Structure 1
Amino acid sequence: MRLVRHLWPESVRARATLGATAVVALALTAASLVLFALLHANLQRNANDAATAQTDTVRQLAAQGKLPGLLPLSHGADFIQVVDSRGRVMAASQNVVGLPVIAKARLHKGTSRATWSGEPFGEGHRQRIVAVTTRTPHGAVTVYAGTSLRDADAADRITTMALGFGTPLLLATVALVTWWVTGRALRPVEAIRSEVAEITGHALHRRVPVPAAQDEVASLARTMNATLDRLEDAVVRQRRFIADASHELRSPIAALRTQFEVALAHPDPALWPDLVSDALADTVRLQDLASDLLLLARLDAADPVSRLPQDLAELCLTNLLDNAQRHADHRVEVALRTDPDAELAVLEVSDDGPGIPDADRERVFERFTRLDDARSRDLGGAGLGLAISRDIAHQHHGTLRAEPDPHGARIVAYLPLSPSRP
């Protein structure tokens, strides 16, 4: 087995060619053997039938006592001899007149007919000989009739030569055609491979060529391009996320540094409470931002959670309520209901704040998005709350949308109900 694995080609093109050629060779060998056997058996049967018909005709004449000395040839037989029980030739066909007994019957005890092949006289071809015994008014005689197997031998030689020359030619043709067809079929794969080899982190815009033929290779190319689209989108989002996070972290760090520099430049104890209070606020803002960034990183790396029963209050209320409280003027409302027809739990959090314009209902779920940037910074928001909430909803196979409300903002979460719930 190790030798077979060592000799087995590694190229798909070579393996396909070798496999196809081997299958055709086996099929052709089996078909050739069957054809040769059928042809040989048919010609042998025809010769045997001709000799049998001749012996039956002569046997009937001998049994009636009408046996002539010179026997006519018919039914395609090549010679006829009638021999008595003492081995004397009583009658024969013209071509064997005067010759001694050409063949001796190989009759088994209790039988009256025998068939075999041989070369009774030198005409260069084997004979199919049939011998039959019969009783005549003058005693028992044996009738010998022979039919030449020249046609069978010639057919055997021609078939053998044809297969000997034709089989290698046919196998070579199969190998060449398979090699060409396989190479043509794999050419797009090589184009895809070479293009993928050129794609790097700085060239994610490149795509593999899609063959014109609508086959499996084209499906592979389209799937690979779709994968590259997702990969490029993920990398772009990651780069934007890093840039936005760096920008957000820079502001509180810069503010802390400024406050510490002011404290060092003006060591007045009367200013310290205000400086410490401002530094503490920036530190809390920095801590919250770091926590949100860590949570987003964990959500991006996590697989979708399994569909197990969850407490909806523990799962979603925190970020949505924080966002509503930050933007509300006087009122925040929370509603939880079920939609049995859609098998969904529906969570609504609304406030009486400035609301969300129609054009920004999707943009508010993007990371680091602020509709009112200055106001959001003063309140400590980094524009990550709704993005985190949507990611959590997606992790639980649900959705989160901003829906129209005439009195403010309304955020609605749709989550699948547990199978055990009505």
Structure 2
Amino acid sequence: MELETLARYTKGSSSKSGFVPRLKRIFLGSVRVRTSVAATAVVGIALAVSSMVLVGVLSNQLKANLIANAKNEAASTVDLIRSGELANPIPLPSGDLAAQVLDGSGRVLASTSNVTGKGPFVGIAFIKSKLTQEIVSISNWTIQPAGDTDSRALLIVHKVQGGSKANINIDSTYTSLVNAQASAGLSKVTPVPLENGHTPNLYVAVIASLASVDQPIKFLIPALTIGGLMLLVIVGFATFYLTGRAFRPVDQMISDAKDITGTSLHRRVFEPEGDDEISRLAVTMNRMLERLEESAESSRRFVADASHELKSPISALQTSLEVSLLRPQEADWPRVALDGLTEAHRMQTLVEDLLILAKADAGRLKLKFESVDLDELVIEEARRARSRTTSKIRLSSVSGGRVIGEAEKLRSVVRNLMENAIRHCESTVSIALKQEGSSVVFEVLDDGPGVPEADRETIFRRFVRLDESRSRGDGGSGLGLAITKSIVEAHLGRIWVEDNNLTGKGARFVVVLPAADPSFTSQPLEITP
């Protein structure tokens, strides 16, 4: 079994370390490479589409110009025939055009010089059948001697209706061309032959060679291809270079982050100048490292403080037992057992408090929500506290107030705040409770030294004791207010401390919780002392 596993591992490792996987990791594992490839691909697609559009538009425009020229030359020839004259060779200025004049039997009466001596372009039957379609594509035609060897052409056919001679206003430019060639002996103008005293039906066929369209396109396509490839190479290298410069701070951040361990959370990653995404990422990472450092430091302090708090009752218990065992006959064993039980209760309370805080930190502080009369909890805890202290506890400002929550957890809040006030008051603790709109406000006021403004957030942290107002000898572990804050926030409430303005000194702890019935109006309660 071990050999098979080793063989599979070796095979998997060898396949992963081959040339192709390494190549994939290099090219696909790099954002820089992927960005360059993507940019090149996008530009390539845009160039291909724009090139096709350019070629199509240019081809259509050239073809439209060629057709317009052919139509004009054909119309001029038709007008000359209608005026009763026929020029042979037909004077056409463009070498891309060729024209023939045919009679009804298909005999060529006149043609341009580049097709002199040749038969009809196409059969007369074909010409007659295509009269309704003015432009017809034909192939395998060569116009000489213009050097045009293109095999594609357009055929334009006009029928000249026979009859008597018509008075036609011929284009002066075309007339000048005809007269000039006739004077030079290059063309002969003769009357149109008559049949039975009338001009017969004649057909003017003009061929427009597509060479003037195809040749520019043939040169344009390779030029666009070569230029496009060169542009893609430039775009690829430029993108690769620019992304490399852009990601250079990221490489520095990665290097810095690799060097940060659990023991070096005080270090920070490089923050580039500017306000772009990379600089904001660096700032965010450094802030995260600050929070991690604070969390780690808080955890270290928490463990150290918890260990110290647990060590105190254990040491006291151990010392009591060791002293008693030195003189077992003289030891007051019931007293030793009572002291040990007290320390055990103290450790149990501390462990339970730590468990509550751990659950609150993990978001697992589960509550059984129900309707709770907070005023009843306040009165019950006040009576319990009165039996254990000589300080005055006033409840004259307690009205009805009902919230949604877990009764025992809320009882813990009330008890912790009362015990905290009793520990630090001089003589009097005042309790207030009332509903204000959709909130129930619970207040505990004392006439002690109060809490300095700079420490009003600190006292809700774990194992925090203010030098003048907190001490381990008073029975506090430094967890009561931290637990109270966690429970209040789990009930969607708020807690804070401020000055006691009623007495001019002391502290005022305020807890605000959502009311169970926002429409309820609280009334002062009649409380039996």
Which of the five TM-score ranges fits, normalised by the shorter chain? 0.7 to 0.9
Q: 1:116 aligns with which of 132, 137, 142?
A: 137
Shift of 1:380: 2.0
Structure 1, residues 389-421: CA drift from partner, whole Å, max 9, x if none?
123223334332222124664342333424752
**SS, match of residue 78 in structure 2:** helix
Q: 1:211 aligns with which of 249, 272, 281?
A: 272
Q: Which moved more, 1:227-236 or 1:167-176?
A: 167-176
Question: 1:268 & 1:374 partners in 2: Cα distance?
Answer: 42
Shift of 1:123: 3.7
Q: Amino acid of the residue matched to residue 122 of structure 2? A: K
The reply to whether residue 394 of structure 1 matches residue 486 of structure 2 is no
Q: Give the structure 1 partner of residue 70 of structure 2.
A: 51
Shift of 1:317: 0.7
Structure 1, residues 127-171: CA drift from partner, whole Å, max 9, x if none?
544332323433122223344444323211221221221121122
Shift of 1:201: 0.7
Question: 2:249 & 2:490 partners in 1: Cα distance?
Answer: 38
- 8 Å contact from structure 2 (residues 98, 143) kept in 1: no
Q: 1:164 aligns with which of 222, 225, 236?
A: 225
The reply to whether residue 134 of structure 1 matches residue 163 of structure 2 is no
Shift of 1:225: 1.8
Q: Give the structure 2 partner of residue 256 of structure 1.
A: 317
The reply to whether residue 225 of structure 1 matches residue 245 of structure 2 is no
Q: Give the structure 1 partner of residue 383 of structure 2.
A: none
Shift of 1:204: 0.6
Q: Give the structure 2 partner of residue 65 of structure 1.
A: 84
In structure 2, the gaps of 5 or more residues are 1-23, 163-197, 378-406, 520-529
Q: Amino acid of the residue matched to residue 36 of structure 1? A: V
In structure 1, the gaps of 5 or more residues are 1-5
Shift of 1:309: 6.4
Once the two structures are superposed, the pairs formed by residues 258-407 of structure 1 within 5 Å of their partners are 258-269=319-330, 271-302=332-363, 311=372, 312=374, 313=377, 314=407, 315=410, 316-340=413-437, 343-371=438-466, 376-405=471-500, 406=503
**SS, match of residue 302 in structure 1:** coil
Structure 1 residues 355 and 39: alpha-carbon distance in aligned structure 2, compared to 1, 3 A threshold: closer
- 8 Å contact from structure 1 (residues 102, 120) kept in 2: no
Q: Give the structure 1 partner of residue 118 of structure 2.
A: 100
Q: Which moved more, 1:211-220 or 1:351-360?
A: 351-360
The reply to whether residue 9 of structure 1 matches residue 28 of structure 2 is yes
Question: 1:255 & 1:129 partners in 2: Cα distance?
Answer: 118
Question: 1:19 & 1:317 partners in 2: Cα distance?
Answer: 63
Shift of 1:383: 2.0
- 8 Å contact from structure 2 (residues 440, 515) kept in 1: no
Question: 1:360 & 1:292 partners in 2: Cα distance?
Answer: 22
- 8 Å contact from structure 1 (residues 132, 143) kept in 2: yes
Q: Amino acid of the residue matched to residue 401 of structure 1? A: W
- 8 Å contact from structure 1 (residues 79, 93) kept in 2: yes
Q: Amino acid of the residue matched to residue 142 of structure 2? A: E
**SS, match of residue 202 in structure 2:** strand
**SS, match of residue 323 in structure 1:** helix
The reply to whether residue 415 of structure 1 matches residue 512 of structure 2 is yes
- 8 Å contact from structure 1 (residues 54, 75) kept in 2: no
- 8 Å contact from structure 1 (residues 402, 409) kept in 2: no
The reply to whether residue 25 of structure 1 matches residue 44 of structure 2 is yes
Structure 1 residues 35 and 208: alpha-carbon distance in aligned structure 2, compared to 1, 3 A threshold: same
Q: Amino acid of the residue matched to residue 107 of structure 1? A: I
Shift of 1:344: 3.6
Question: 1:123 & 1:147 partners in 2: Cα distance?
Answer: 13
Q: Which moved more, 1:185-194 or 1:246-255?
A: 185-194
Structure 1 residues 267 and 50: alpha-carbon distance in aligned structure 2, compared to 1, 3 A threshold: same
- 8 Å contact from structure 2 (residues 447, 507) kept in 1: no
**SS, match of residue 145 in structure 1:** strand
Q: What TM-score comes out, normalization by structure 2 length? A: 0.70
Question: 1:69 & 1:177 partners in 2: Cα distance?
Answer: 64
Structure 1 residues 133 and 333: alpha-carbon distance in aligned structure 2, compared to 1, 3 A threshold: same
- 8 Å contact from structure 2 (residues 100, 206) kept in 1: yes
Q: Amino acid of the residue matched to residue 220 of structure 1? A: L
Question: 2:516 & 2:55 partners in 1: Cα distance?
Answer: 70
- 8 Å contact from structure 2 (residues 446, 508) kept in 1: no
The count of aligned residue pairs is 415
Q: Amino acid of the residue matched to residue 63 of structure 1? A: R
Q: Amino acid of the residue matched to residue 387 of structure 1? A: A
Q: What TM-score comes out, normalization by structure 1 length? A: 0.86
**SS, match of residue 68 in structure 1:** strand
Q: Amino acid of the residue matched to residue 62 of structure 1? A: I
Q: Amino acid of the residue matched to residue 258 of structure 2? A: A
Structure 1, residues 165-212: CA drift from partner, whole Å, max 9, x if none?
112112222222222233333333333222222211101111222232
Identity %, equivalent residues = 37
Q: Give the structure 2 partner of residue 3 of structure 1.
A: none
Question: 2:84 & 2:252 partners in 1: Cα distance?
Answer: 91
- 8 Å contact from structure 2 (residues 449, 469) kept in 1: no
- 8 Å contact from structure 1 (residues 51, 129) kept in 2: no
Structure 1, residues 242-298: CA drift from partner, whole Å, max 9, x if none?
111222222222221111111111123463344333333333323322222222222
Superposition RMSD in Å: 3.2
Shift of 1:122: 5.2
Question: 2:102 & 2:505 partners in 1: Cα distance?
Answer: 127
Once the two structures are superposed, the pairs formed by residues 140-151 of structure 1 within 5 Å of their partners are 140-151=201-212
**SS, match of residue 28 in structure 2:** coil
